[in-house]
Amino acid sequence: MMLQPTLSGEFIQALDSPKDLGPHMTSDCYYVAHKLIAYKGKKIIFKGELYMAERNDLLNFLDDAAASGDLRELLISPVQAHTNGKTIYISEDAIYVYAAE
């Protein structure tokens, strides 16, 4: 589950801009989830959209979205799990990097 590292994973760093994400994105391909969730009791229900994107395309998209003031709440996680994988949570205020579990 992509959301799990943001709930219980190891927080690594907060970033101010998508331009700072490059060194943290070490995989070639990522899942990108438009973070739209609902709660039913304690259960979290994902209601957003899930996409797959290549690293460079994703970084370009994030830069363009930030420049236009349209950076949405996203969860980003590598398609292939590996030891240095990171989950990225983008909110309206900042970008948070977590160690992927």
Q: Which phi and psi (to 5°) does residue 39 adopt?
A: -115, 135
Instruction: Supply the pLDDT for residue 20.
Output: 92
Q: Express each pLDDT in 42-87 by its tens digit.
A: 887 877 788 999 999 999 999 999 999 888 889 999 998 777 778 8
Instruction: Supply the pLDDT for residue 7.
Output: 60
Alpha-carbon Rg for the chain in angstroms: 13
Q: Express each pLDDT in 3-35 by its tens digit.
A: 565 666 678 899 988 999 999 998 999 999 986
How many residues are there in the chain?
Answer: 101
Residue 1: pLDDT band with limits 50, 70, 90: very low
